């Protein structure tokens, strides 16, 4: 094949993208509560060992692209749109007014705002460290975030306390750090209550996001379960206002089963927000696009969420790979992530309605109908054939994933 010159490359990408087919129309994509982060779209490919590979992209550009693709909701950190010097000054109002105009112009809504408490040097020892002035500044930032949320019409505020922990063991008292962190969340909730009373509006849903490691060496709240424990610890003044933002990869990173973590949050009534992405177990936070690594697991996750009526946002918290260009981010990375999600969501609906899975499930639940339940051998003997259905269900889910339930077969007679 002939070399592809620089000016032919974008055309090639666009031609192969359309040859892939199977894209959903923007109107279809907009029907889903899929939210697009400013930081995902504008991620420049930088990391500890990586220089950036892409040019900066402004919020106005991101919002314009989201509208064209059919991502109806936009999410942002305070730091994605404001520098620390601009925060809490008249300049903040001007910048927010510009963002409101972009959102309105393109028919995109802000669904969530999140406070950066991990990147800036001031968080070196966490937002809940010993120094009262650091904590006072953190409280101001959280209260300001709530104001930004109300101003932009967001329904959710997310807190990922990535630096809530330590590098050097023994240097912090974990119980004290937890109390100090609770004080910050309490400040955000108090501000929210005051603002919503003044505006006669609803309060935000405050969602805690856990990650087991990175960037801090040891984390005080490393999993969704830890967050659920924290919410009910008695340290929060308004536990009813606080839920979780589970991230798929973050649960996988510690070796957990994301579906089980989601289930635990669901039964606690606290699964309010969901960061969708993919990656590998017991590795760092690679934030790959949804479904590219674990499509079968993803199908199962969405079966669970559909079956239990989850109606919160699906937030595309992934990082377009460094090898994808600025053009590629908006032509390939974001639309294909959205489309894989929609396909998996539709497949989840098929799995829920599948007559074979339904009959198998009903049969498993009906049991063998024997009455001598104090005889373990008899109970086993009576049920041992029905348990084969577990594997049959797994096979059926695989068939659904590959379209084989619709007759797609691979037979190479040569
Ligand atoms: C990083 C987190 C991060 C959060 C974001 C929202 O690993 O996933 O992207 O989701 O800061 O609070
Ligand atoms: Mg996340
Ligand atoms: Mg992540």
Q: Which atom of ligand 1 is nearest to the CA of 115?
A: 12
Handedness of CA 192, 84, 91, 110 (dihedral sign): negative
Please state, in angstroms and as integers, the Cα–Cα distance from residue 297 to each residue in 257, 293, 336, 394, following that order. 9, 9, 18, 11
Rounded to the nearest angstrom, the distance between the alpha carbon of 105 and the centre of ligand 2 is 28
Pairwise CA distance, residues 37 & 41, whole Å:
7
Could you tell me if 384 and 261 lie in one domain?
Answer: no
Q: Which atom of ligand 1 is nearest to the CA of 118?
A: 11
**Cα-flanking dihedrals φ and ψ of residue 96, to 5°?**
-65, -35
Could you tell me if 122 and 194 lie in one domain?
Answer: yes
Those residues whose C-beta lies under 8 Å from the C-beta of residue 123, and which sit 6 or more positions away, are 117, 134, 138, 163
Q: How does pLDDT run along the chain (414 residues), one tens digit per residue? A: 899 998 899 999 999 999 999 999 999 999 999 999 999 999 999 998 999 999 999 999 999 999 999 999 999 999 999 999 999 999 999 999 999 999 999 999 999 999 999 999 999 999 999 999 999 999 999 999 999 999 999 999 999 999 999 999 999 999 999 999 999 999 999 999 999 999 999 999 999 999 999 999 999 999 999 999 999 999 999 999 999 999 999 999 999 999 999 999 999 999 999 999 999 999 999 999 999 999 999 999 999 999 999 999 999 999 999 999 999 999 999 999 999 999 999 999 999 999 999 999 999 999 999 999 999 999 999 999 999 999 999 999 999 999 999 988 888 776
Could you tell me if 348 and 360 lie in one domain?
Answer: no
Q: What is the CA radius of gyration of the chain?
A: 24
CB distance 158 to ligand 1 below 6 Å: yes
Structural domain span for residue 118: 25-353
Q: Which atom of ligand 1 is nearest to the CA of 214?
A: 7
Contact 78, 122 (CB under 8 A): no
CB distance 143 to ligand 1 below 6 Å: no
Could you tell me if 347 and 284 lie in one domain?
Answer: yes
Whether 179 is covered by a domain: the verdict is yes
Ligand nearest to the CA of 213: 1
Ligand nearest to the CA of 159: 1
Rounded to the nearest angstrom, the distance between the alpha carbon of 278 and the centre of ligand 3 is 8
Pairwise CA distance, residues 92 & 97, whole Å:
8
CB distance 319 to ligand 1 below 6 Å: no
Pairwise CA distance, residues 312 & 315, whole Å:
9
- CATH number at 148 reads 3.20.20.150
Which tokens sit at 14? 């666009």
Q: Which atom of ligand 1 is nearest to the CA of 75?
A: 6
Ligand nearest to the CA of 288: 3
Residue nearest to atom 3 of ligand 1 (CA): 160
Whether 8 is covered by a domain: the verdict is no
Could you tell me if 387 and 323 lie in one domain?
Answer: no
Beta bridge partners of 152: none
CB distance 73 to ligand 1 below 6 Å: no
CB distance 211 to ligand 1 below 6 Å: yes
Whether 2 is covered by a domain: the verdict is no
Ligand nearest to the CA of 160: 1
Could you tell me if 289 and 362 lie in one domain?
Answer: no
Could you tell me if 347 and 375 lie in one domain?
Answer: no
Residue nearest to atom 4 of ligand 1 (CA): 160
Could you tell me if 262 and 328 lie in one domain?
Answer: yes
Could you tell me if 384 and 241 lie in one domain?
Answer: no
Rounded to the nearest angstrom, the distance between the alpha carbon of 247 and the centre of ligand 2 is 5
Those residues whose C-beta lies under 8 Å from the C-beta of residue 31, and which sit 6 or more positions away, are none
Residue nearest to atom 2 of ligand 1 (CA): 160
Handedness of CA 198, 204, 210, 214 (dihedral sign): negative
Pairwise CA distance, residues 338 & 71, whole Å:
8
Could you tell me if 212 and 172 lie in one domain?
Answer: yes
Residue nearest to atom 5 of ligand 1 (CA): 160
Residues around ion ligand 2, judged by CB within 5 A, are: 247, 275, 317
Pairwise CA distance, residues 262 & 270, whole Å:
9
Could you tell me if 52 and 187 lie in one domain?
Answer: yes
Helices then strands, each counted (H, E), the chain: 17, 10
Rounded to the nearest angstrom, the distance between the alpha carbon of 317 and the centre of ligand 2 is 5
């Amino acid at each position: 094949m002939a070399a592809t010159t620089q000016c032919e490359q974008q055309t090639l990408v666009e031609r192969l993208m359309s040859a892939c087919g199977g894209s959903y129309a923007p109107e279809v994509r907009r029907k889903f509560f899929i939210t697009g982060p400013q930081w995902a779209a504008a991620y420049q490919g930088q990391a500890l060992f990586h220089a950036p590979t892409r040019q900066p992209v402004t919020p106005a550009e991101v919002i314009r692209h989201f509208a064209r693709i059919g991502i109806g909701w936009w999410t942002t950190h305070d730091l994605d749109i404001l520098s620390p010097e601009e925060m809490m000054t008249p300049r903040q109002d001007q910048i927010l007014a510009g963002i409101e105009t972009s959102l309105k112009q393109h028919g995109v809504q802000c669904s969530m705002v999140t406070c950066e408490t991990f990147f800036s040097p001031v968080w070196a020892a966490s937002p809940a460290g010993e120094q009262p002035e650091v904590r006072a500044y953190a409280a101001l930032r959280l209260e300001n975030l709530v104001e930004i949320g109300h101003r932009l019409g967001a329904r959710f505020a997310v807190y990922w306390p990535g630096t809530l922990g330590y590098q050097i063991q023994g240097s912090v008292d974990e119980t004290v750090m937890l109390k100090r962190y609770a004080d910050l969340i309490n400040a955000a909730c108090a501000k929210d209550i005051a603002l919503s009373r003044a505006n006669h509006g609803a309060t935000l849903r405050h969602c805690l996001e856990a990650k087991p490691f990175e960037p801090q060496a040891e984390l005080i709240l490393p999993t969704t379960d830890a967050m659920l424990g924290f919410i009910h610890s008695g340290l929060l003044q308004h536990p009813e206002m606080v839920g979780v933002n589970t991230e798929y990869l973050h649960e996988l990173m510690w070796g957990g089963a994301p579906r089980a973590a989601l289930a635990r949050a669901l039964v606690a009534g606290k699964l309010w927000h969901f960061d969708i992405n993919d990656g590998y177990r017991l590795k760092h936070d690679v934030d790959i696009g949804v479904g590219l690594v674990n499509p079968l697991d993803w199908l199962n996750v969405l079966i669970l969420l559909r079956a239990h009526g989850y109606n919160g946002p699906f937030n595309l918290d992934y990082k377009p790979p460094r090898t994808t260009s600025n053009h590629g981010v908006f032509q390939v990375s974001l639309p294909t992530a959205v489309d894989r999600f929609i396909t998996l969501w539709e497949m989840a609906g098929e799995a829920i309605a599948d007559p074979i899975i339904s009959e198998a499930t009903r049969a498993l639940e009906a049991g063998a109908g024997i009455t001598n339940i104090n005889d373990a051998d008899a109970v086993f003997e009576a049920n041992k054939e029905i348990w084969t259905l577990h594997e049959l269900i797994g096979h059926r889910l695989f068939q659904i994933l590959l379209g084989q339930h619709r007759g797609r077969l691979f037979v190479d007679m040569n």
